[in-house]
Amino acid sequence: QAHSHYGQRVVVLIDEYDKPILDNILDGDRARELREGLKNLYSVLKDADPHLHFVLLTGVSKFSKVSLFSGLNNLNDITLDAPYAAICGYTNHDVDTVFAPELPGLDREEIRRWYNGYRWGRQDVPSVYNPFDVLLLLQKREFGPYWFESATPTFLIDLLKQRGVFTPQLNTLQAKAQLLGRFDVDDIATEALLFQTGYITIQDVQEPMTGYRLYSLGFPNREVESSLNEFLLPVLGIQNSEAQTYQLALFNVLLKQNLTGLETHL
């Protein structure tokens, strides 16, 4: 609670505001029912405005204001605002200073390749590292897809399977700002879904006309690119045991620089 000359006012923090809908995103009727329930819940904040000092809502996805927040007309979306670009991750400076005592024995460039690369906004804003990955790397002292293994939502994989997404194309996507921010039960663009869940990120921003921003999108880092490809292999009809056989054979011919063997393998 906060005090001001208006008297006592309340701070409201809501995390994962969208979770009930996302948990049922493949069941359209159920998701719409939950959306309407949450819309009623959040509309209470509008009437409570005189008593609120500060309100912050965070979640995986950005549902459109019309679909979920029609009762709230004074929200400020800070997702792509430059001053907040590094608020949810570690910067290079953080890793090199705060965690300096933990770095000896680890390849600094590999840490960058594996876990850095998330960017929310222009090219001149700092990219950030996934904090969950960094902390577990510093504890376990070996590289691994820690965030991917702990956090990949099943609805994402199901939708990518349903839409037949070809993962090499995910590193060459382009989208308008409006597309990245449009998300609803009946209208989920693949680009918006992957961006908002953290599986692709902003690589570059162009503004060919005033007020018209075009975002170039791609994988943030090695963890996400390799893990997402591997996760989708069963969808392509290649089971894990079969995939491992192919992968080990590929590693072998590459390590031996055996070009003839590589041709045969492919």
- Cα dihedral value 165, 171, 172, 173, nearest 10: 60
Q: Would you tell me how many other CB atoms lie within 10 Å of the CB of residue 223? A: 23
**What token pair was written down for 84?**
């907040």
Q: What are the tens digits of pLDDT across the range 135-168? A: 999 999 999 999 988 876 677 777 788 887 777 7
The overall average pLDDT reported for the chain is 85
Whole-angstrom distance, CA of residue 160 vs CA of residue 50: 44
- Could you please report the per-residue DSSP string of 53-80? EEEEE--SS---HHHH-TT-------TT
Q: Angle CA(70)–CA(20)–CA(189) in degrees, nearest 5?
A: 70
pLDDT at 93: 95
* Ranges of each domain in the chain: 2-77, 83-223, 234-265
In the chain, % of residues over pLDDT 90: 33
Q: What are the tens digits of pLDDT across the range 195-237? A: 888 889 988 888 878 877 788 889 999 999 988 888 888 777 7
Which range among 26-30, 54-58, 97-101, 205-209 has the greatest average pLDDT? 97-101
Closest CA to 119 of 221, 193, 212: 221
Whole-angstrom distance, CA of residue 52 vs CA of residue 50: 6
Q: Which residue has the higher pLDDT, 180 or 132?
A: 132
| DSSP β-bridge partners for residue 209 | 212
Q: Is the pLDDT of residue 2 over 80?
A: no
Contact 199, 217 (CB under 8 A): no
pLDDT band at 252 (very low <50, low <70, confident <90, very high): very high
Whole-angstrom distance, CA of residue 85 vs CA of residue 3: 29
pLDDT band at 250 (very low <50, low <70, confident <90, very high): very high
Q: What are the tens digits of pLDDT across the range 82-135? A: 888 888 899 999 999 999 999 999 999 999 999 999 998 777 788 999 999 999
pLDDT band at 74 (very low <50, low <70, confident <90, very high): confident
pLDDT at 30: 92
pLDDT at 45: 85
Whole-angstrom distance, CA of residue 240 vs CA of residue 101: 38
Q: Is the pLDDT of residue 7 over 70?
A: no
Residues 6+ apart with CB under 8 A from 146: 132, 133, 136, 137
Among the ranges given (59-68, 72-81, 201-210, 223-232), the one the predictor scored with the smallest mean pLDDT = 59-68
Considering Cα of 250, then 145, then 134, then 81, what sign does the dihedral take? positive
